[in-house]
Structure 1
Amino acid sequence: MNILALEPLDLAALVASRVCHDVISPVGAIVNGLEVLEEDKDEGMREFALDLIRKSAKAASARLQFCRLAFGAAGSAGAAIDTGDAEKVARGLFADDRTQLNWESPRVFMPKNKVKLVLNLCLIAAACIPRGGVMNVSIEGEGDDARMSVTVKGPNLKLASHVADLLEGRSESGMVDAHGIQPFFTGLVARSCGMAVQVAASSEDVTLRAAPEAPAAGA
């Protein structure tokens, strides 16, 4: 297993590609809806187009707000972020007709990288339930003792085989693409705030846990 080492520009490009991939679908749907409004005079089709535009604009906004906290530089260096804001953007992205989001956390201010970490764990977990299901998010403790977990259950439950390795900064091929950059980025965020991520998968659920990294022997 090879340790991954990305140049800063390559990391930025791959993360930007991932964000664009997430946003392009609803934006494309908005464009399609506008084209229908311009070209079709049928009242039923125009109403359909307006509904498509409304729903797609809401989805695009939710994805952008989530990405701003999960990937962006929200706040100044060293800033703390309200976990209530994290819950709000998570509900905007995940809580829909297919997915039930249970967020169990007191509303506190946490270092921004720890907030980014829990949101990125949610993204990894959501990918395990492509047809929806239940997502349980838990944050316990504060400061250096903060711990978090995300558990998902649902039909067609599956954890991609490369996720655990990428979280540790490793890859069998020694490379990572835009599809794998998000778990790799999550591992970087975890290590930046002194936390380690563990993955547990069964036929019934998938759980990702982040806790303070144990000190090295002899440290």
Structure 2
Amino acid sequence: MTTSPVSQTTDTLALLGLLGSRICHDLISPLGAIGNGIELLAMSGASTGPETALIEDSVRNANARIRFFRIAFGAAQPGQFLSRRDVLSVIDDISKGARVTFDWTVEGDVPRCEARLAFLIMQCFETVMPFGGTVRIINHPGGWSVIGASDRFREEPHLWALAEHKSEDLSDLKAADLHFALAPLVAQELERRLEVTRKPDEISVRF
């Protein structure tokens, strides 16, 4: 019996999701322990200098990024939902001191699989907005829209072609750009397709 391409894609995404969840799970505990240790040092007065502040900031940023990755790359089972409060908590944490800020306008709980795709697209915008800007996430009756506004975007036509499934050439894909190739696979699993509209000061991705 042969396996259909759709089934193979689903199985691959499931394995990648479990891998992402496992890595995030294994990293979050030691980071939490480091944070607790710094708090104990501060409470005892043993260390309150700039070195401690630097470690605190680094741990806080790493925790925020891992929580973001857990949604974007972790397992997303059918029927699972994410609360608006949890999503906003993650977004608020990664936006602190960042050049790119996110405006999550979606009300209420959302299916985790759809939030996963939205987060992957948000990462795409981080890649093409190195000089900063604002990304707005909208959920409307016809689907989702993720809209990035910036005075200057990086020109990455090949990466956007991957996102829209107009190209399957992964020969030059870098690890830092993995989300551009993963997003269309997640969209396919949801029976959606990414539609990218690019303007000089705005890029919109619908699914």
Tell me if TM exceeds 0.5: yes
Match of residue 130 from structure 2: 130
Q: What CA distance in whole angstroms lies between the structure 2 residues aligned with 1:154 and 1:187?
A: 24
Give the secondary structure class of the aligned counterpart of 2:74. coil
1:165 offset after TM fit, Å? 2.1
Question: What is the identity, as a one-letter code, of the residue corresponding to 2:161?
Answer: D
Aligned to 1:56: 58
Residue 158 of structure 1, CA deviation:
2.1
Partners of 2:129 and 2:154 within 8 A in 1: yes
Q: Identify which of 117, 142, 148 aligns with 2:144.
A: 148
**1:115 paired residue number:** 115
Distance 1:67 1:149 in 2: 20
| Shift in Å, 1:97 | 5.2
Measure the CA separation in 1 of the matches of 2:98 and 2:111.
32
Q: 1:163 & 1:88 partners in 2: Cα distance? A: 29
Counterparts of 1:28-47 in structure 2 under 5 Å?
47=49
Which moved further from structure 2: 124-133 or 161-170?
161-170
Unaligned residue ranges in structure 2 (runs of 5+): 1-7, 39-46
Q: Which residue in the other structure is 2:102 paired with?
A: 101
More strand by share: 1
- Which structure is richer in relative contact order (CA contacts within 8 A, separation 6 or more)? 1
Aligned match of 2:68? 66
Mapped partners of 2:193, 2:12: distance in 1 = 22
Equivalent pair of 1:81/1:115 in contact (CA under 8 Å): yes
Paired position in structure 2 for 1:214: none
* TM-score normalised by structure 2 residue count: 0.70
Deviation at 1:171, TM superposition (A): 3.0
**TM-score normalised per structure 1:** 0.66
Q: C-alpha separation between the residues in 1 aligned to 2:105 and 2:56?
A: 30
| Alpha-carbon distance in 1 for matches of 2:181, 2:170 | 14
What is the alpha-carbon root mean square deviation over aligned residues? 3.3
Q: Which runs of structure 1 show a deviation greater than 6 angstroms over 4 or more consecutive aligned residues? A: none
1:53-103 Cα offsets, whole Å, 9 max, x none, are 1111110000011111111125x5432222442232122223535334322
> Any gaps of 5 or more consecutive residues in structure 1?
35-42, 211-219
Query: In structure 2, what is the equivalent of residue 157 of structure 1?
Result: 153
| 2:116 partner letter | K
| Aligned match of 1:179 | 176
Count of aligned pairs: 177
User: Which structure dedicates a bigger proportion of its chain to helix?
Assistant: 2
